[in-house]
Amino acid sequence: MALKDSPVRLFLRSRVVEIALIATVVVVYFGTWNNPFVFDDMRSVVANPSLRDPNNLVFALVFERFRPLTNLSYFLEYRLWGLDAAGYHATNIALHAANSVLVYRLFCRLDGCRTEQRSHFAAVVALVFAAHPMATSAVGYISARSELLAAFFVLASLIAFCSGWERQSKGLVALGWVLWAFALFTKESGAVVPLLLLSFNRCGLLPGSGSRRLRSFYFPAGLLVTTGFVLRMVAYSGESSSPGLGGIVTHWLLETEIGWRYLCLFLLPYGQSLVHEVSDQAGGWSIVAALVSTVVLGTAIGVKRIPWSIRLGILWFMVALVPSAIAPLSEFMAEHRTYLAGPGLFLVLVGGARVLAELLQARGFTLAKHVAAGVSVAVILALGAGAIARNDVWRDDVLLWTDAAAKTPRVYVTHAAAGQALQRHGDCEKAIAYYRTALSLLPERTESLVNMGTCMAKLRRYDEAQDVFIRVIELAPNNVHALNNLAQLALIRGETTTARDYYQRVLNIDPNNNRARQALELSTSSSPP
């Protein structure tokens, strides 16, 4: 063995790589430290009642039935820093750094990192994972904590299983089961561990007999996953109308097409957005995407001459997207769901680059390795810069939603949410413009009408505001917000009797409405005898 490939040097090199990975994550995501709570963070943390009582741990565990460990992480953090978002962001950054290290260690193990060249290969894959902008929607978004935790336990369990089977250690295999259980209680995507191990086995990366593991691991693991899937589907059907077999097939076709859209975002992350425009009907492109995906999957499974990194990367990427493809989620496309799939795609790209470099070197291009190293550094730097730029969008809800609205001009929710964010920040003039766009898409959404009318009233455009609130009452006669606002406008005009009538209508609908009750009492007491 060459001196440069000695165990001591390889050990030290690995530690240097891991330090570089942690440093990369810190540099890329340091700017998220002071970002506020946004979007679902209000539900997950700010308004989460299970976090408040330090003596009621059971409530924290059962509050999120299928993700108790994710909610437990919020519960523990609330004890440490309350509602200071910086602490939650620090945890997300730490988890991404840990996951980057685990990706490096796992692919080192699979590639047999006993030479400097192989160590470099795993390092490049992990560095791309650490710096890629597609991770920003998971790392910079507190409510995506489940993605980070699930990936941590999935990667750790894969390493434990591989090490246990290689060393024939029952203790390590048992640790793998425990870590996998943690992944399952963090997010449903943890269920992919057996499929990933099957992919390892198919690519010839696992030691020992696959037939023995079929009885001792794959059969009980498959039974566990199937049971969990059935329970989750029953829960979905209880929360909303059951989609039926046709709905499940349609959802799968749509998600197959979305998988290719994810691939395009990984290759060119310019179009990243909190929300993406997705049709709820499967069309011709969905069928084409499903057919092409089937061919690609079959090739990765059946063609053994393809380098293991490319085969495994394809299988990893597709397997990691399976949970969101079969679960009937209301939001079809969300970038944070690709967090665990990313390492698979990077394995394909870096593996393909390695094959190309080796071919060029074999044909006499002696600088192939150096060119590959230079390109790798340039790509990682470019990805890191892109991630830093994308993180800036998450620094407040106005930037987040106006960015999403610009990229999804035909989606109601992005324009409505952008209007609400601007309204909260006191910019009613711009908020009205977004509300108008939202209402041009869905004219009968009373929430946006009420918000737009409120903004108009704040700008003293009273006649326009009154017309808007009257439109709300035409659509929803019992909308107490519009009635209260109409009463307030009447008071501004000195029309006390009209205001009382509106307040009385509110109390007829909602006898406990304090705003109407207090205003009615005040107007009655201040009126002349």
Asked whether residue 373 falls in the same domain as residue 456, the answer is: no
Mean pLDDT, to the nearest integer, of 77-104? 95
Which residue, of 358, 393, 428, is where some domain finishes?
A: 393
Asked whether residue 333 falls in the same domain as residue 421, the answer is: no
For 301-337, the pLDDT digits (tens) are 999 899 999 999 999 999 999 888 777 677 889 999 9
Quote the percentage of the chain above a pLDDT of 70: 92
Which residue, of 417, 435, 465, is where some domain finishes?
A: 465
Asked whether residue 277 falls in the same domain as residue 415, the answer is: no
Asked whether residue 156 falls in the same domain as residue 180, the answer is: yes
pLDDT for residue 152 is more than 90: yes
Quote the percentage of the chain above a pLDDT of 90: 61
Asked whether residue 364 falls in the same domain as residue 451, the answer is: no
Asked whether residue 489 falls in the same domain as residue 435, the answer is: no
Residue 333 lies in a domain: yes
Whole-number Å distance between alpha carbons of 285 and 250: 12
Residue 197: give the domain boundaries.
3-393
Asked whether residue 442 falls in the same domain as residue 493, the answer is: no
Residue 471 lies in a domain: no
Band of pLDDT at residue 517, cut at 50, 70 and 90: confident
* Positive/negative CA dihedral, 58, 60, 63, 65: negative
Band of pLDDT at residue 512, cut at 50, 70 and 90: confident
Place of tokens 């996998």: 180
Q: 8-22, 153-167, 321-335 — which is least confidently predicted?
A: 321-335
pLDDT for residue 440 is more than 70: yes
Asked whether residue 159 falls in the same domain as residue 261, the answer is: yes
Residue 7 lies in a domain: yes
Planar angle of CA 376, 133, 276, nearest 5 degrees? 140
pLDDT for residue 115 is more than 60: no
Q: 11-20, 113-122, 172-181, 467-476 — which is least confidently predicted?
A: 113-122
Residue 477 burial (CB count, 10 A):
11
Per-chain mean pLDDT for the chain? 88
Domain CATH number, residue 524? 1.25.40.10
DSSP string, 359-406: HHHHTT-TTHHHHHHHHHHHHHHHHHHHHHHHHHHTTSHHHHHHHHHH
Residue 472 lies in a domain: no
- pLDDT at 523 (0 to 100): 64
Interhelix angle 446-458/480-492, nearest 10 degrees: 20
For 135, which DSSP code? G
**C-alpha closest to that of 388 among 163, 84, 140:** 140
Q: Are 136 and 390 a contacting pair, CB within 8 Å?
A: yes
- pLDDT at 116 (0 to 100): 56
* Positive/negative CA dihedral, 73, 74, 79, 80: positive
Asked whether residue 493 falls in the same domain as residue 446, the answer is: no
pLDDT for residue 242 is more than 60: no
Residue 228 lies in a domain: yes
Q: Is residue 22 within a helix (H) or strand (E), and if so which, with residue range?
A: helix 7-29
Which residue, of 465, 497, 513, is where some domain finishes?
A: 465
pLDDT for residue 114 is more than 60: no
Cβ partners under 8 Å of residue 78, min gap 6: 45, 51, 52
Domain count, the chain: 3
Residue 402 lies in a domain: no
Asked whether residue 68 falls in the same domain as residue 90, the answer is: yes
Planar angle of CA 492, 493, 498, nearest 5 degrees? 95
Whole-number Å distance between alpha carbons of 420 and 423: 5
* Distance separating the N- and C-terminal Cα atoms of the chain: 105
Residue 403 lies in a domain: no
Band of pLDDT at residue 246, cut at 50, 70 and 90: low
pLDDT for residue 241 is more than 50: no
In terms of C-beta density within 10 A (0-12 exposed, 13-18 middle, 19 or more buried), how is residue 92 classed? buried
Asked whether residue 71 falls in the same domain as residue 155, the answer is: yes
Asked whether residue 425 falls in the same domain as residue 529, the answer is: no
Of 222 and 427, more confident? 427
Residue 307 lies in a domain: yes
Whole-number Å distance between alpha carbons of 341 and 135: 10
